Amino acid sequence: MMAPRRLHRAAGAVLAVFLLVHVANHLAALAGVDAHIRFMDAARSVYRQPVVEAALLLCVALQAASGLRMLWTGRQRRRGVLAWVQAGSGAYVALFLAIHVVAVLAGRAGGLDTNFHFAAAGLHVWPFVLFFLPYYFLAVAALFVHVGCALRRGRAFVAGFTCAGIVVAGLIVATLMGKVVPVEIPANYLQTFAGIST
């Protein structure tokens, strides 16, 4: 059986390719929502293939499970700021992936296209913006921090990766909120929050 750390890295390598495409997809929205959706349609032609999607979901589960196991088993011997930053950022990424994957699968089961509008809707309904703004921002920033720590190139490298993550996270959240390009959320996405908003 593969050791948890090797399993974590193997699953992470596969996910890194998908996440790079996913982050690029969100950044494509800087050119407008239509650009985001065109990019997504092209990417989906690959990652929505049943075998590819199943492999990605398996990697998410393996990555989160192995990461949380290492987080727990290494708690006594973890030393240094970077080790704790890596552990903390990894824990948040695992939490985000668990919530996000379940939300996307539930949205699809409910007949919604889980596109830009699905991701942005919660940022356009009060008070849900109070949850979704830090939820998305911290997810992107934590991903960059975690990858920066995992590459083990030193504090300056991690600091650079962190700064890049903060910039990318800010751009993605601002775009989802309609602060960069015009965004109009269709009613069927906003209705997801009907009855539970104040």
Q: What is the pLDDT of residues 79-131, one digit of tens each?
A: 788 888 888 999 999 899 989 999 999 999 999 999 999 999 999 999 999 99
Which SS3 state, helix, strand or coil, does residue 78 take? coil
Split into its structural domains, the chain has a count of: 1
Residue 168 forms part of a structural domain: yes
pLDDT at 192: 85
172 and 136 Cβ atoms separated by less than 8 Å: yes
Residue 34 forms part of a structural domain: yes
Residue 160 forms part of a structural domain: yes
pLDDT at 198: 46
Residue 63 forms part of a structural domain: yes
Question: Which amino acid appears at position 151 of this protein?
Answer: L
Calpha distance 137→60 (Å, rounded) = 20
Q: What are residue 75's phi and psi, to 5 degrees? A: -65, -30
Which parts of the chain sit beneath pLDDT 50?
198
Residue 64 forms part of a structural domain: yes
Calpha distance 85→93 (Å, rounded) = 12
pTM of the model: 0.90
Residue 198 forms part of a structural domain: no
Residue 96 forms part of a structural domain: yes
pLDDT at 2: 63
* Residues whose CB is less than 8 angstroms from the CB of residue 82 and which lie 6 or more positions away in sequence, other chains included: 149, 155, 158
Q: State which residues form the domain around 76.
A: 4-193
pLDDT at 1: 54
pLDDT at 62: 87
pLDDT at 140: 97
Residue 38 forms part of a structural domain: yes
